[in-house]
Structure 1
Amino acid sequence: MIYSEYLNSARKHFATCEALKVTINELDLANPQNRMKNKQFRFNLYYLTGYVFECSIKYGIFKLVNHDPKEPVQNLDVPGIDYSNQIKKHRFDRYADHLIVRHAGIKLVDNRIGIPQEVIKLYNNWDAPVRYVYNDTKHLSYSMIQNNHLFTFLECAKEVLNTVQRL
C-alpha cells in the first residue's frame, strides 16, 4: 500500500458519510422501523467518520515527512515514528502527534476551540471496535451520537480532510 491510498480512502469514507447524513435527515421517525434504522445509520456514521479522521491524519503524516509516494507505507523510515506500533494502529492518540508537530492547528485533532465536549468525546473514544457497537457503552452514550454531535464530528473530519489535501 502506498500512502496516497489513505487519502483515497478518506475521500471514499467521507462520501459515504455524506450519504448517511442525508439518509438520516430524511428518515420519517414516526415509523418504528425507521427509528431502528436511524440508530443503525448513526452508529455507522460515527464509525465511518472515524475512518475519515484516521486516513486523513495518516496521509498527512506521510506527506509531511516526505515519504516516497511510490514506497510502501510499511517502509516508513523516520526517526521517532514507528509504523508497526503507531501508524498501523487505529487509535488516533497512537499517531496524531506526528501530524500535530509538523502541522499544528488542525480542527479537533489539536485545535478544540469552540467544539462541543460531546464531539471531543466522540473523537477521543473512537477506535475500530466501534463497528461492533449497537447499544450504549461506558465509552459511547446515546446522547453522544445525537445528530447534531455526529454532524459536527463529520464537519470536523471534513476540515481535517481538506487540510491534508492542501499539504
Structure 2
Amino acid sequence: MATMLALATATAPVAAQGAPIGDDAAACTSGTGSAIRVNVTGLKDRTGRLKLELYPANEEDFLKDDRDLVKEGKFFRRIWAQTPASGDVALCIKAPAPGRYALLFTHDRDGKNKFNFWRDGAGFVSTAKLGRSRPKLEQAELTVGRGVTSVTIRTQYLRGLSGFAPYTG
C-alpha cells in the first residue's frame, strides 16, 4: 500500500508548486543524486519553522533518537526551513541512495525545536488520519528512486479528543 502511494505521488504535478526551500533545496534542482521533494499542504498558519526527517524504513529505527542512529552507524537526515509568509510550500531532502525510507514532516510553530503536542503539526506520506497513537511505520514509508521523488504531505494538528487530523480552518 505504501509503495503504491509513493509511486502515485511520485508522478504528482510539480510545476504548480514553487521552488523547494530548506537546507537541501539544491538537491531537488541539480539533477544529481536521490532526493525527495515534499509538497506541503494544510498549514494552520505561517509561523515558525518546517522540518523534514528521513529515517531507515524499519520498526526499530523509525522515530528513534538521531544521536542513537548516528552512534549505531545508521542513516539519518534532518533539514529545516523557515515557514514562508505565503505561497505554495515545497521542501527538499537528500536521500543517500535509491531505496526505502520513512519520512516525517513537522511544523514547529513556536520555533523551539521541540515538538509541542498541543500546538505543532505533523504529517506523513500516508493520507490516513494520525489520531492519538504513535504513528505507524507504514504511514511514513516511501520508495525513493534515482533523481527526485515527489510526494505531497497534508499537515495534521491536534483536533480535540480524537487526536491529530488535517486542519480545516
Q: TM-score range by the shorter chain?
A: under 0.3
Between structures 1 and 2, the one with greater helix share: 1
TM-score norm. by structure 2 comes to 0.23
TM-score norm. by structure 1 comes to 0.24
Specify the structure having the higher radius of gyration (Cα).
1
Between structures 1 and 2, the one with greater strand share: 2
